[in-house]
């Protein structure tokens, strides 16, 4: 499909679905109707040209599909539910073209909130968001998460059923729920981004790379809520992280750690945009974990060379992050910063605290961090063993090869 058409369709998908759900209320039926209208547009527009009002066209077609659905349902059941049909066709169609930007805004946002419904599990929220807001097909989502299409179809239809039985209407949550629901939305976007970023390569996906999709949706969220610091922070974090993607893997698909990346291959445009965004956002107050992580990413990205990295500033930021959102991974990262500022021995001392947590002690990230700090300390035997243990623990093949080769290199130097 033409990229311009595809982009436009995916941009319009949440607006059209939002408009339909607001009007007719039945989420699952509306969603099917919108998918059909998107498909029709994808087939017709490139051949017959773009309609004057693409959004109005989609709403009209989707409304018609919805009415058809209701009608065939009725034909089968032969009774009741005349509500949708009772709406004069002319009214459906005439309202379709009314492009009220304020309504569009709230519809898209309310749709995101609806897809991140508290009654849904995280995987269901992700799947539903990608389908309803992102406009991806079930097959694309299934391919991206490496599950059979039938499994994903089931997950999505169960999610829609859950929303249906919960009876939540499409409207903005009450102020009290707003912050919590926004937190869930941000988390889902973050998970989608990470899924795309951790996968070795987007080349295998039939879906557009998931991180690109996460960035697109987060941009939309940031446009809808320009004053929300965490939405801005998350977008900045994604841009600053994604900027390093071209340098993250070597020619064999092997992992290249941050310190060894060829920084000339980083995407300067994304870095500039991310830095600008986080610099504007941070001073506005109410600093949250996404903003802090974005700030840390910005400090890394700003360094022309790994030795130019401003580690004291990173250490301060990790200290703040640990206060705002403490978790063992943050402590682990802070240990690296401590080592860079106060020496590897200080970093190792901090790691020792984490090692008392049995689950954490066997985590490959803890093992590889310890290996790295031991290497810095010149304890090559211990480092080689720790790298080997880390290699055995990781379940990512490129990471395993990377860690195993570090272990082998150090072991070869043993006398």
Told to check if 252 binds another protein by CB under 8 A, we report yes
Told to check if 380 binds another protein by CB under 8 A, we report no
**Residue 224 burial by Cβ neighbours in a 10 Å radius (0-12, 13-18, 19+):** middle
CA distances for 322 relative to 160, 295, 328, 332, angstroms: 37, 14, 9, 10
Told to check if 393 binds another protein by CB under 8 A, we report yes
Told to check if 404 binds another protein by CB under 8 A, we report yes
Task: Output the smallest distance, CB 266 to another protein, in A.
Answer: 24
CA angle 223, 201, 242 (to 5 degrees): 35
Element (H, E) at 257: none
Between 105 and 400, name the residue whose CB sits nearer to another protein: 400
Strand residue runs (E) in 29-161: none
Binder to another protein among 306, 329, 352, 397 (CB under 8 A)?
397
Between 263 and 393, name the residue whose CB sits nearer to another protein: 393
Strand residue runs (E) in 141-216: none
Distance from C-alpha of 217 to C-alpha of 131, rounded to nearest angstrom: 12
Across 176-186, b (16+ Cβ under 10 Å) vs e yields eeeeebbebbb
Residues numbered 109-148 forming contacts with another protein, rule: CB under 8 A? 148
Task: Output the smallest distance, CB 137 to another protein, in A.
Answer: 20
Task: Output the smallest distance, CB 390 to another protein, in A.
Answer: 10
- Any long-range contacts for 198-204 (C-beta under 8 Å, 24+ apart)? 198/396, 200/249, 200/253, 200/396, 200/397, 200/398, 201/249, 201/253
Task: Output the smallest distance, CB 405 to another protein, in A.
Answer: 3
Is residue 381 within 8 A of residue 415, CB to CB? The reply is no
Told to check if 409 binds another protein by CB under 8 A, we report yes
Told to check if 254 binds another protein by CB under 8 A, we report yes
Phi, psi of 286 (to 5 degrees): 40, 70
Choices 55-63, 193-201, 229-237, 400-408 (CB under 8 A): range interacting with another protein: 400-408
Between 26 and 408, name the residue whose CB sits nearer to another protein: 408
Between 134 and 398, name the residue whose CB sits nearer to another protein: 398
Residues in contact with another protein, counted by CB under 8 A, come to a total of 18
Between 209 and 410, name the residue whose CB sits nearer to another protein: 410
Cα-Cα-Cα-Cα dihedral of 74, 79, 81, 86, to 10°?
80
Phi, psi of 348 (to 5 degrees): -65, -35
Told to check if 365 binds another protein by CB under 8 A, we report no
Task: Output the smallest distance, CB 146 to another protein, in A.
Answer: 12
Told to check if 395 binds another protein by CB under 8 A, we report yes
Binder to another protein among 246, 260, 405, 413 (CB under 8 A)?
405
Is residue 14 within 8 A of residue 8, CB to CB? The reply is no
Choices 46-54, 97-105, 340-348, 398-406 (CB under 8 A): range interacting with another protein: 398-406
Told to check if 198 binds another protein by CB under 8 A, we report no
Residues in contact with another protein by CB under 8 A are 148, 150, 252, 254, 388-389, 391-393, 395, 397, 400-401, 404-405, 407-409
């Amino acid at each position: 499909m033409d990229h311009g058409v595809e982009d436009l369709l995916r941009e319009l998908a949440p607006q059209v679905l939002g408009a339909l759900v607001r009007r007719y209320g039945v989420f699952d039926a509306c969603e099917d109707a919108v998918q059909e209208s998107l498909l029709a547009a994808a087939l017709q527009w490139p051949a017959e040209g773009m309609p004057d009002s693409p959004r109005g066209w989609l709403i009209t077609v989707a409304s018609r599909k919805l009415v058809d659905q209701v009608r065939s349902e009725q034909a089968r059941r032969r009774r009741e539910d005349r509500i949708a049909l009772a709406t004069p066709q002319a009214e459906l169609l005439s309202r379709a073209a009314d492009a009220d930007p304020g309504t569009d805004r709230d519809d898209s946002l309310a749709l995101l909130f609806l897809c991140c419904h508290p009654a849904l599990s995280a995987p269901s929220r992700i799947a539903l968001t990608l389908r309803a807001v992102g406009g991806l097909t079930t097959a694309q989502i299934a391919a991206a998460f490496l599950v059979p299409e039938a499994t994903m179809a089931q997950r999505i239809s169960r999610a829609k059923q859950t929303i249906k039985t919960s009876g939540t209407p499409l409207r903005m949550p009450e102020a009290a729920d707003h912050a919590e629901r926004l937190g869930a939305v941000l988390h889902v976007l973050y998970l989608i981004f990470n899924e795309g970023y951790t996968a070795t390569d987007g080349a295998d996906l039939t879906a557009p790379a998931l991180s690109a999709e996460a960035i697109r949706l987060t941009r939309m969220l940031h446009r809808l809520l320009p004053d929300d610091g965490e939405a801005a922070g998350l977008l900045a974090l994604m841009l600053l992280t994604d900027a390093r993607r071209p340098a993250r893997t070597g020619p064999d698909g092997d992992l290249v750690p941050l310190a060894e990346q060829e920084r000339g291959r980083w995407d300067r445009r994304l870095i500039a945009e991310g830095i600008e965004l986080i610099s504007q956002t941070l001073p506005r107050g109410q600093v949250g974990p996404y903003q802090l992580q974005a700030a840390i990413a910005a400090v890394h990205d700003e360094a022309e060379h790994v030795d130019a990295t401003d580690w004291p500033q990173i250490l301060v930021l990790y200290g703040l992050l640990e206060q705002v959102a403490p978790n063992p991974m943050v402590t682990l990262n802070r240990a690296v910063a401590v080592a860079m500022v106060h020496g590897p021995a200080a970093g190792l001392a901090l790691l020792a605290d984490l090692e008392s947590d049995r689950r954490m002690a066997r985590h490959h990230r803890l093992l590889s961090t310890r290996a790295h700090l031991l290497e810095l300390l010149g304890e090559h035997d211990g480092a080689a063993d720790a790298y080997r243990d880390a290699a055995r623990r990781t379940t990512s093949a490129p990471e395993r090869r990377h860690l195993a080769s570090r272990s082998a290199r150090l072991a070869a130097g043993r006398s």
